[in-house]
């Protein structure tokens, strides 16, 4: 037998120049696991961090002359979405419910229900917004009256400038 312990090969140990098949596949597995984890981690971090740096576009859009809206009425208005892409065409148009409360006060609501984003309708006789998808009901001020919607209708900021009613458009979230 070989009495020199430095020259005695131990089971499973290889010299620095030698790499056993088992060691090679162990290292390859660890490298592939690390690479796969990195591939999954980068988009997840981007998803979490991106909203912090993304600026939401806000643009004032004219929706009509002040004289076109009567006191106490709610009217559907159509305008160009602030986040529309140049090639969006007709899909870049969106809408809101504009309510003229009195001579100088306007309120604009999103057309999308806060439950699942279905378009709400204004029922003049009942003075309620109704969501046809799951029976959500909102009062004329946008507050939830009944059904599954968790939040009131989102509002747009409104101003009157040079005799025109304008809405500050931004991508309104369906839920908050």
Looking at residue 174, its pLDDT comes to 47
> Residue 125, class by beta-carbon neighbours within 10 Å (0-12 exposed, 13-18 middle, 19+ buried)?
exposed
H or E stretch including 80? strand 73-80
Closest Cα to residue 133, out of 155, 108, 111?
111
User: Which two three-digit tokens encode residue 72?
Assistant: 């106490």
119 within 8 A of 113, measured Cβ to Cβ: yes
Residues 13-65 pLDDT 10s? 555 678 889 999 999 999 999 999 999 998 888 888 877 776 667 888 899 99
User: Which two three-digit tokens encode residue 3?
Assistant: 């009495």
Cα(90)–Cα(102) distance, integer angstroms:
33
Q: Is 115 helix (H, G, I), strand (E, B) or coil?
A: coil
- Token pair 């409360």 is found at 101
pTM over 0.85: no
């Amino acid at each position: 037998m070989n009495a020199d312990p430095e020259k005695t090969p131990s089971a499973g140990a290889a010299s620095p120049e030698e790499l056993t098949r088992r060691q090679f596949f162990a290292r390859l597995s660890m490298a592939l696991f690390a690479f796969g984890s990195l591939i999954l981690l980068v988009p997840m971090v981007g998803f979490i961090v991106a909203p912090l740096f993304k600026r939401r576009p806000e643009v004032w859009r004219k929706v009509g002359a002040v004289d076109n809206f009567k006191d106490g009425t709610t009217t559907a208005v159509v305008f160009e979405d602030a986040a529309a892409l140049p090639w969006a065409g007709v899909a870049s148009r969106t809408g809101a419910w504009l309510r003229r409360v009195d001579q100088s006060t306007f309120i604009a609501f999103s057309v999308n229900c806060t439950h699942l984003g279905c378009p709400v309708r204004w029922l003049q006789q009942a003075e309620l917004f109704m969501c046809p998808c799951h029976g959500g009901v909102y009062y004329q001020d946008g507050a939830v009256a009944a059904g599954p919607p968790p939040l009131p209708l989102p509002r747009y900021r409104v101003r009157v400038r040079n005799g025109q009613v304008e809405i500050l458009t931004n991508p309104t979230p369906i839920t908050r």
